[in-house]
A and B are shown apart, each in its own frame.
Chain A
Amino acid sequence: MAQRKERIDRGIKVRSDDVFVLTSWREMLYLAAPRVVPVVALFVLGLVAGPYWERVLISTCMFALLAISWDLLNSAGMVSLGQALFFGVGAYIAGTLNHYLGLPPGLTIPIATVGGGVLCTLALLPVLRLRGIYFAMVTLILPMMIERVIEATKIFGGTEGISGLTTLGNPHLEFWLAAVVVFVALFGFRRMIGSDYGLLLKGINDNDRAVMSAGMNIYQYKAQALFMASSVGAFAGAFMTHAYQFVGMPVFALDYSMIPIASVAVGGMGTLAGPMLGSFILVPMSELLRGLGGLRVVIYAVILVVFTVGLPEGIFHYLSRKYNQFERWVGVER
Chain B
Amino acid sequence: MSKEVILQAENLSRYFGGVKAVDGVSFSLRRNEVLGVIGPNGSGKTTLANLLTGFVKPSKGKVIFEGQDITGLPPYKVADRGIARSFQMVKPFYQLPAFKNLNVALLSPRVRRLAGGRYGDRDAVAKDLLEEVGFERDSWVISHQAASLPHGYLKRLELAKCMALQPEVIVLDELFSGLSLAEVASLVPVIEKLVHQGKTLVMIEHRLKELFRIADRVLVLNFGQKIAEGEPAQVMEDPQVKGAYLGSEAEE
Answer yes or no: B15 CB below 8 A from chain A CBs. no
- Least Cβ–Cβ distance between B170 and chain A, in angstroms: 11
A215 touches B91 (CB 8 A): no
User: Given that A206-B92, A209-B87, A210-B93 are contacting pairs, would A217 and B103 also be in contact in the complex, using a CB cutoff of 8 Å?
Assistant: no
A197, closest chain B residue (CB): B107
User: Given that A210-B161, A215-B110 are contacting pairs, would A200 and B104 also be in contact in the complex, using a CB cutoff of 8 Å?
Assistant: yes
Q: When the two chains form the complex, which single residue of B104, B111, B122 contacts A210, counting CB atoms closer than 8 Å?
A: B104
Q: How far is the CA of A8 from the CA of B103 in the complex (A)?
A: 30
B91 touches A206 (CB 8 A): yes
Answer yes or no: A207 CB below 8 A from chain B CBs. yes
A209 touches B103 (CB 8 A): no
- Least Cβ–Cβ distance between B130 and chain A, in angstroms: 16
Q: How far is the CA of A274 from the CA of B122 in the complex (A)?
A: 30
Answer yes or no: B80 CB below 8 A from chain A CBs. yes
A213 touches B85 (CB 8 A): yes
Contacts of B107 in A (CB 8 A): 196, 199-200, 214, 216
Q: Which of B71-79, B198-206, B230-238 contacts A (4 or more CB under 8 A)?
A: B71-79
Q: How far is the CA of A79 from the CA of B47 in the complex (A)?
A: 29
With an 8 Å Cβ cutoff, the count of chain B residues facing the other chain is 30
Q: Which of B94-102, B179-187, B213-221 contacts A (4 or more CB under 8 A)?
A: B94-102
| Binary interface encoding of chain B residues 119-152 relative to chain A, with 1 for a CB under 8 A from any of its CBs, else 0 | 0001000000000000000000001000000000
A interface residue count range (under 10 / 10 to 19 / 20 to 34 / 35 or more): 20 to 34
Q: How far is the CA of A207 from the CA of B122 in the complex (A)?
A: 20
B80, closest chain A residue (CB): A215
Contacts of A17 in B (CB 8 A): 143
| Binary interface encoding of chain A residues 270-286 relative to chain B, with 1 for a CB under 8 A from any of its CBs, else 0 | 10000000000000000
A207 touches B53 (CB 8 A): no
Contacts of B75 in A (CB 8 A): 209, 212-213
Q: How far is the CA of A215 from the CA of B111 in the complex (A)?
A: 9
- Least Cβ–Cβ distance between A253 and chain B, in angstroms: 33
The B-contacting residues of A in range 39-91, CB under 8 angstroms, are: none
A203 touches B104 (CB 8 A): yes
Answer yes or no: A202 CB below 8 A from chain B CBs. yes
Q: When the two chains form the complex, which single residue of A206, A211, A213, A216 contacts B95, counting CB atoms closer than 8 Å?
A: A206
- Least Cβ–Cβ distance between B199 and chain A, in angstroms: 16
Say what secondary structure dominates the interface of chain A.
helix
User: Given that A199-B100, A199-B103, A202-B96 are contacting pairs, would A214 and B108 also be in contact in the complex, using a CB cutoff of 8 Å?
Assistant: yes
Answer yes or no: A93 CB below 8 A from chain B CBs. no
User: Given that A196-B107, A199-B103, A210-B87 are contacting pairs, would A215 and B165 also be in contact in the complex, using a CB cutoff of 8 Å?
Assistant: yes
Answer yes or no: A165 CB below 8 A from chain B CBs. no
Answer yes or no: B55 CB below 8 A from chain A CBs. yes
Contacts of B76 in A (CB 8 A): 212-218
- Least Cβ–Cβ distance between B151 and chain A, in angstroms: 16
Q: When the two chains form the complex, which single residue of A199, A217, A270 contacts B104, counting CB atoms closer than 8 Å?
A: A199
- Least Cβ–Cβ distance between A274 and chain B, in angstroms: 15
Answer yes or no: B63 CB below 8 A from chain A CBs. no
B104 touches A209 (CB 8 A): no
A214 touches B105 (CB 8 A): yes
Q: How far is the CA of A113 from the CA of B109 in the complex (A)?
A: 31
The A-contacting residues of B in range 184-202, CB under 8 angstroms, are: none
User: Given that A199-B100, A214-B161, A216-B76 are contacting pairs, would A209 and B105 also be in contact in the complex, using a CB cutoff of 8 Å?
Assistant: no
Contacts of B175 in A (CB 8 A): none
Max count, chain B CB within 10 A of own CB: residue among A196, A199, A205, A215: A215
B103 touches A196 (CB 8 A): yes
Contacts of B111 in A (CB 8 A): 215
Q: How far is the CA of A214 from the CA of B103 in the complex (A)?
A: 10
Answer yes or no: B84 CB below 8 A from chain A CBs. yes
Contacts of B109 in A (CB 8 A): 215-216
- Least Cβ–Cβ distance between A307 and chain B, in angstroms: 23
A203 touches B96 (CB 8 A): yes
Contacts of A199 in B (CB 8 A): 96, 100, 103-104, 107
A202, closest chain B residue (CB): B95
Q: When the two chains form the complex, which single residue of A200, A206, A211 contacts B94, counting CB atoms closer than 8 Å?
A: A206
Contacts of B100 in A (CB 8 A): 199
Contacts of A216 in B (CB 8 A): 76, 104, 107-109
Max count, chain B CB within 10 A of own CB: residue among A203, A205, A217: A203
- Least Cβ–Cβ distance between B224 and chain A, in angstroms: 22
- Least Cβ–Cβ distance between B108 and chain A, in angstroms: 4
Q: How far is the CA of A218 from the CA of B109 in the complex (A)?
A: 13
- Least Cβ–Cβ distance between A110 and chain B, in angstroms: 32
A205, closest chain B residue (CB): B95
Q: How far is the CA of A211 from the CA of B100 in the complex (A)?
A: 13
Q: How far is the CA of A213 from the CA of B158 in the complex (A)?
A: 11
Q: How far is the CA of A45 from the CA of B93 in the complex (A)?
A: 41
Contacts of B87 in A (CB 8 A): 209-210, 213
- Least Cβ–Cβ distance between B5 and chain A, in angstroms: 23
Q: When the two chains form the complex, which single residue of A200, A211, A212 contacts B74, counting CB atoms closer than 8 Å?
A: A212
Contacts of B105 in A (CB 8 A): 214-215
Interface residues in chain A, defined as those with a beta carbon under 8 Å from any beta carbon in chain B: 17, 196, 199-200, 202-203, 205-207, 209-218, 270
**With A212-B75, A212-B76, A213-B55 already in contact, 13 other A-B pairs whose C-beta atoms are closer than 8 Å:** A196-B107, A199-B100, A206-B91, A207-B93, A209-B55, A209-B75, A210-B104, A211-B104, A214-B104, A214-B105, A214-B161, A216-B107, A218-B76
Jot down 7 A-B pairs with beta carbons below 8 A, ordered by A. A209-B87, A212-B75, A212-B76, A213-B85, A215-B109, A215-B111, A217-B74
